[in-house]
Structure 1
Amino acid sequence: MFAAFTLLFMCLSVTGTALADHHQPCQSPSIAGDLSVTNTKKGAYTLVGYVYDSGAKRLRFKVNVNESFNSNTVEDVLMFFEEGVFYDIDTKTQSCKKKSMVQPALNPLQLPSSATFLTKMQLGRASVQEEGLIVNVWQVTAAALKAPYYPSFTMGCLPLSMMYTSDSTTLIISNINVEVEIKDPDRLTLPSFCEGATLEETPEGTTNSFFHFFF
């Protein structure tokens, strides 16, 4: 299944240039849901619940299921994309670690202005109303990554999935159980016990981004 999924996206990346038009990157809505993250080369899987404010560019995610990722995988994170920092939150000990993110920040739920439109595709049955879904597939190149990644969005700019593959890593992210509203906006507010956290120095050779948590 993963091989077929990978082959589909590789075909899109090769043929998409011929189909590309003048689509411009869109603005995602504020949403909440779950992100299913699979690293196929490590046989690792995790499910994180998240809340994303597209206006403030803030993402809070918390690990719900963690299978085969190493013990250093963060559990609860609040990311401030515009400020370029994130907080590793430990509610049990009422403590936080404040760290820098690579810039420009790699946001799994938002298309950067540099994204290149590849193609439009129909998922499901095109001949039957409401049994198909039209999606746009994009390519994003970032200096912090060894290869481009390929996000797909609905026509209404709802993020659906993302695939990244390099010689060492294949990462597939699926957006599921999505709600186009934020029922608990307080989750995007920095906890009071984090306010005094000082910015930690990033070790040489370390890259901090959403994607790198799962490499």
Structure 2
Amino acid sequence: MRFLVLLPCFLAGCLAQKPHPCSSPPLLSGALAITTQNEKLWSYAKYLYDAIGQRFRIMELGTYENKSFNYDALLLYKEVTKAMTYKLFFFFFWGGGSSGPGQGLLVNSWVGDLPDKSGKYMTTVTEFGCIPVSSDYQTKEYGWLVTSFFNNVIGIEDPGKLTPPDFCQDAELNADSEEEPVDFFSVFLKKH
């Protein structure tokens, strides 16, 4: 009988939660591991994220179809002129225990369909600090692409690593390109 009384209270509490955007730390660095459901791709990477300058760098090594690769990409989001839209819904949960201070981790997960309806994604960040925990991205070719973040540190030890090299200074962005802007997930889906 208690269950029947507590269940509506629990559901009402969950449904009363309103999604709220969070802001990541302005500078963040760390590492991540990526695996795919069909085991074609595995990688380990270090990343640098600069929200102020809208830059993201990933330095990756791994295997793709049993062949080793190294990959280094610098994404300059200030240069992207096309909007990326995603429809989202939101939920939150505790990881670990919630009965004592410091025994658990409150996280928010955002789930949605990709704009072209080719799959789904889910990203999870900490409630306090908006630090990435994981991102899951569904693809036709690989199944689920799972990214787990760890060793996250607020700040960047060497901000110079987010500056394009000298040989890129004369490069121009083709604003008329029909290609979609590169987002976080598509970096990992390029054939290595």
Q: Which 5+ residue runs of structure 2 have no aligned equivalent? A: 1-10
How far apart are residue 142 of structure 1 and its match? 3.4
Name the residue aligned to 1:104.
83
Please tell me whether residue 137 in structure 1 is matched to residue 112 in structure 2: no
How far apart are residue 74 of structure 1 and its match? 6.4
> Which of 37, 43, 46 is 2:34 aligned to?
37
Does the C-alpha gap of structure 1 residues 150 and 24 become closer, same or farther in structure 2, counting only changes over 3 Å? same
> Which of 68, 76, 92 is 2:64 aligned to?
68
Letter in 2 for 1:177: N
Q: Distance in 1 between matches of 2:66 and 2:74?
A: 20
Does the C-alpha gap of structure 1 residues 116 and 210 become closer, same or farther in structure 2, counting only changes over 3 Å? closer
Name the residue aligned to 2:121.
149
Please tell me whether residue 213 in structure 1 is matched to residue 187 in structure 2: yes
Question: Size of the alignment, in residue pairs?
Answer: 174
Does the C-alpha gap of structure 1 residues 190 and 70 become closer, same or farther in structure 2, counting only changes over 3 Å? farther
Letter in 2 for 1:47: Y
Does the C-alpha gap of structure 1 residues 202 and 47 become closer, same or farther in structure 2, counting only changes over 3 Å? farther
Q: Distance in 2 between matches of 1:175 and 1:208?
A: 20
**Helix, strand or coil at the partner of 2:146:** strand
How far apart are residue 159 of structure 1 and its match? 1.4
How far apart are residue 152 of structure 1 and its match? 0.6
User: Could you tell which deviates more after superposition, 65-74 or 138-147?
Assistant: 65-74
Name the residue aligned to 1:127.
99
Give the alignment's TM-score, normalised by structure 2: 0.75
How far apart are residue 52 of structure 1 and its match? 0.3
Does the C-alpha gap of structure 1 residues 26 and 161 become closer, same or farther in structure 2, counting only changes over 3 Å? same
Please tell me whether residue 77 in structure 1 is matched to residue 51 in structure 2: no
Give the alignment's TM-score, normalised by structure 1: 0.68
Name the residue aligned to 2:136.
163
Does the C-alpha gap of structure 1 residues 142 and 74 become closer, same or farther in structure 2, counting only changes over 3 Å? farther
**Helix, strand or coil at the partner of 1:126:** coil
Does the C-alpha gap of structure 1 residues 204 and 82 become closer, same or farther in structure 2, counting only changes over 3 Å? closer
Does the C-alpha gap of structure 1 residues 201 and 56 become closer, same or farther in structure 2, counting only changes over 3 Å? closer
Q: Distance in 2 between matches of 1:127 and 1:48?
A: 35
**Do the aligned partners of 2:63 and 2:69 also contact (CA within 8 Å) in 1?**
no
Name the structure where strand makes up a greater proportion of residues.
2
Name the residue aligned to 1:191.
165
Q: Which 5+ residue runs of structure 1 have no aligned equivalent? A: 1-14, 86-102, 106-111
Q: Distance in 1 between matches of 2:127 and 2:90?
A: 14
Percent same amino acid at aligned positions? 28
How far apart are residue 37 of structure 1 and its match? 1.1
Letter in 1 for 2:34: V
